[in-house]
Chain A
Amino acid sequence: MHDLVIKIVESGPPFLEMIKRLKKHKLAITGLVIITALCFIALFAPLIAPHDPDKLHLAHRLLSPGDGYLMGTDNLGRCLFSRLVFGSRITLLVGFFVVAITSTVGVALGAIAGYRGGIIDEIIMRCVDVLLAFPGIILALVIAGILGPSLFNIMFAMSVIGWTGYARVVRGAVLSVKEREFVEAARSLGASDSRIMFRHILPNVMAPVIVMATLGMAHVILAAAALSFMGLGVQPPDAEWGSMLNAGRLFMRTAPHMTVFPGLAIMITVLAFNFLGDGLRDALDPWLKETG
């Protein structure tokens, strides 16, 4: 009996309940469908792309959509559709990688700060303050600029600046959760710090982290595109949406498809993650549960 009561508290908001709420959120489902589709496209890019994305066909340059190329060709005669398809790999890779690193680091540091308090809390949170005092994209620009242009370096740069938000949110949540009765109970039963942290506190602070991570994906994808647009990301001939957008800029008036399609791709992806993030927030918010 005793055991059972504790289990219910531990499992937090029921997962099925969340799915049910999410299903009702039409935009979130749209987002989810788009993201799933994107993952498939990225995974099976070589099967989907009709042409080699890096192969130049100089004689076929700047063709309009149609003409044997679904989305036309760029200034070097490369199939734009194939490049977008392969570009999705880089976009998703950067998004997942950076969010995974930043959320892990942010959650860990935030949890330690919130749980331990005192001097450790001071040190971690002042670091967060310092990093937050810089405009994020500028700092990423500086780091990527110093390290030299490459995909890994922009992922690193964005990871360095991206974890602070998670740390703040998690610290706040931990501060309130650690005073709750079930934590007291666990502690009085002699549970170790790590057990309290992993079994009792973290599951209860994950909801805002999941929402933040989903919205963070959108943010990271946009920032990566911006950095690539400035020539700091992927180096040629690799396809990346931001750098494709930049390449198309010179041909904006004469070959608008070179900018329109990468722009749309970025927009749709970012929107999809934002929709999903919004939906998740609604589904996970305990206050909404009570009122709704």
Chain B
Amino acid sequence: MLKRLTILTLCFLMITGVFTGCGNQPAGTPQDEPKEQEVPKELAAVQQVVAGLGRDPGEIYGYGAHPPLTRVLEPLIFQDLELGLIPGLAVQWNASGDGLTWTIQLREGVQFHDGTPFNSDAVIHNLWRISEMSPGRFGPVEKIEALDELKIEVTHSEPFAPFLYSLGWAGSAMISPDAVNEDGTIEEPIGTGPFSRESWTPGEEMVLARNDSYWGGTPKLERVTLKYIPDPTTRMMALEAGEIDMIIDTGGVLPEQVPTLNLHPEIEVLSIPGAVPHYMTLNTREWPFNDQQVRKAVMYAVDPESIIQYALEGYGKVMTTVTPHSEKNWMHGDALYKYNDPDKARELLEQAGWMDSGSGILQKNGQELRVKFLLSSALVGRWPYGTIAEIVQAQLRDVGIGVEIEVVEAGLWRETLKKGEANMSIRPWAGISPQSRLHEWLHSKGENSAAMGIFFNNQQIDQLIETLLMTTDENAAKELAYQIQEIASIEVPIIPIYDEVLINAVRSNIKGYKLHPWFTMNWEEIYVESVQ
């Protein structure tokens, strides 16, 4: 009996010994043990997050890593949560009295991920590279000189008012000169940010690794995976299933998904007013929107209020001028664009000679007033454009305009619009600066005018915009901006529909995330708490 007891006890001790032995050696590194105890209790042992988003973070801006979303690359100037300009890779900047010469003091002790020092030479290399790629981005640059190792001077031939905003824009991020080929193409996104790009599988995912020597302090996360999930339902279900930890970016969570996500106690929905206005564009070159009366009738017929209430579940703000609320200092005080007045729309169309033919669709010279509303399937997966288009369709039908909605793949969408083969479309536009926004949309040589097939050509507005870009006096500049906005609301080449309220969602063990109006990720501040 005693013998048996001893054997049993011995066996028991051996078994417990084996098990506790195993437990003491996780992943076979017993040396790490004391370190782990130093970590605050609530922090998860593995500091990694997987974030889902509706577009490929490697595709935009040509860097191979979207600067605000990945934070692999950084611009000279940052924008805070109120969109004020704050020091980034530049710590100080001054303009000369005539507004022609800018002196920029750079941050000390910054290195690119490849070890190349960040200095005046690197910045000058970058500024010329970007100017060659998109002429005029930094204004009429005459020369750029290095005053010393960390100080540069940019001289313009004419004053360029939005210069600082241009430096702070996502597309003006600094890249290591070694990462750029002689023809200006970028091989690897080697920047200065808190994370570097470890790998990128186009159309699938991008993995970011921590930059231990980040100038702003070592980030808490070791690794970030950005998963490109174009379908909104799949994106939401991935978050619900715990496959991803966050849904980020503008157009991440769709408004109609919020009630479903709110059912989960472990998921937190975040939202803030963003800097992402959405515009409906009209092709002013082709029939029937080459007639200003018809464009105005469209403006009177649509009702952004109902779009916001029913398609966006309230996650949006009506825009009454082309300048969004995020640029409120530049926004015209009056409600310039007038909406939801179908009677006025019918009246305008009648004045323009459109007659009811009995079918409910108006006619003129035997031609029915039918237009094509072209949507990009990539954008439909991020914003409720399908629903919005159907509401617009019904509202235009109500005044006698027939709308054919067509959803096509993103590449075809761009091609068709560029060729002027669609009558209208809708897209978001975050914009570089208040001044350049007006240039991009309304100037005859503006980037969006050609790309979106608007082809708006108005000499008065062109001149005003050109003057605005050179006007450094703030009051005079605002006066010009107001004038431009007034003309826009009379000519109606574009119809601002709504200012987006950004919606993201995170699992509740993800801490430290602050939603930025420009959807810039504060990856260096985010960390993972352990789940109880």
A residues touching B (Cβ–Cβ < 8 Å)?
54-56, 58, 61, 75-77, 145, 148-149, 231, 235-237, 247, 249-254
A254 touching B259 by the CB < 8 A rule? yes
The residue that A149 contacts in the complex, of B260, B387, B406, with Cβ under 8 A, is B406
Q: How far is the CA of A10 from the CA of B139 in the complex (A)?
A: 88
Q: How far is the CA of A54 from the CA of B233 in the complex (A)?
A: 25
Type the 1/0 row for B213-237, where 1 means its CB is closer than 8 Å to any CB of A. 0000000000000000000110000
Q: How many residues of B contact A (CB 8 A)?
A: 25
B256 touching A235 by the CB < 8 A rule? no
Q: How far is the CA of A31 from the CA of B406 in the complex (A)?
A: 36
> Could you say which of B12-20, B202-210, B389-397 contacts chain A?
B389-397
What's the least CB distance linking B448 to chain A, in Å? 24
A75 touching B409 by the CB < 8 A rule? no
B394 touching A237 by the CB < 8 A rule? yes
- CB-CB under 8 A from A252, the residues of chain B are 233, 260
The residue that B256 contacts in the complex, of A54, A237, A251, with Cβ under 8 A, is A251
The reply to whether the CB of B386 lies closer than 8 angstroms to some CB of chain A is yes
Chain A to chain B contacts (Cβ below 8 Å), 11 pairs: A56-B394, A58-B309, A75-B256, A75-B310, A76-B387, A145-B409, A149-B406, A235-B406, A236-B405, A247-B386, A253-B263
Known: A56-B390, A58-B306, A235-B405. A250 touches B377 (CB 8 A): no
Known: A56-B390, A58-B306, A236-B386. A250 touches B233 (CB 8 A): yes
What's the least CB distance linking A117 to chain B, in Å? 44
Known: A75-B256, A145-B409, A149-B406. A237 touches B306 (CB 8 A): no
What's the least CB distance linking B527 to chain A, in Å? 30
B residues touching A (Cβ–Cβ < 8 Å)?
232-233, 254, 256-257, 259-260, 263, 306, 309-310, 377, 386-387, 389-391, 393-394, 404-409
Known: A56-B390, A56-B394, A58-B310. A148 touches B406 (CB 8 A): yes
Among residues of B, the one whose C-beta sits closest to the C-beta of A146 is B412
Among residues of A, the one whose C-beta sits closest to the C-beta of B263 is A253
Q: How far is the CA of A76 from the CA of B387 in the complex (A)?
A: 8
Among residues of B, the one whose C-beta sits closest to the C-beta of A230 is B377
The residue that A237 contacts in the complex, of B393, B406, B408, B409, with Cβ under 8 A, is B393
- Shortest Cβ-Cβ A-B pairs, 5 listed: A253-B260, A58-B310, A56-B394, A236-B405, A250-B256
Q: How far is the CA of A231 from the CA of B231 in the complex (A)?
A: 13
Among residues of B, the one whose C-beta sits closest to the C-beta of A251 is B256
What's the least CB distance linking A267 to chain B, in Å? 20
- CB-CB under 8 A from A75, the residues of chain B are 256, 310, 387
- Which of B391, B406, B409 is most buried by chain A, counting CB atoms within 10 A of its CB? B406
Beyond A75-B310, A149-B408, A236-B389, 15 additional contacts (C-beta under 8 Å) are A54-B394, A58-B306, A58-B310, A75-B256, A76-B310, A76-B391, A145-B409, A148-B406, A148-B408, A231-B407, A235-B404, A236-B386, A250-B233, A253-B263, A254-B256
Among residues of A, the one whose C-beta sits closest to the C-beta of B389 is A236
- CB-CB under 8 A from B309, the residues of chain A are 58
Known: A76-B391, A236-B389, A253-B263. A149 touches B256 (CB 8 A): no
Among residues of B, the one whose C-beta sits closest to the C-beta of A150 is B406
- CB-CB under 8 A from A58, the residues of chain B are 306, 309-310, 391
Among residues of B, the one whose C-beta sits closest to the C-beta of A243 is B386
- CB-CB under 8 A from B233, the residues of chain A are 249-250, 252
- CB-CB under 8 A from A76, the residues of chain B are 310, 387, 390-391, 394
Q: How far is the CA of A122 from the CA of B390 in the complex (A)?
A: 50
What's the least CB distance linking A76 to chain B, in Å? 6
Q: How far is the CA of A56 from the CA of B389 in the complex (A)?
A: 12
- CB-CB under 8 A from A77, the residues of chain B are 310
B377 touching A231 by the CB < 8 A rule? yes
Q: How far is the CA of A75 from the CA of B386 in the complex (A)?
A: 11
Known: A145-B409, A250-B256, A253-B260. A236 touches B232 (CB 8 A): no
- Which of B233, B254, B393, B394 is most buried by chain A, counting CB atoms within 10 A of its CB? B394
Among residues of A, the one whose C-beta sits closest to the C-beta of B412 is A148
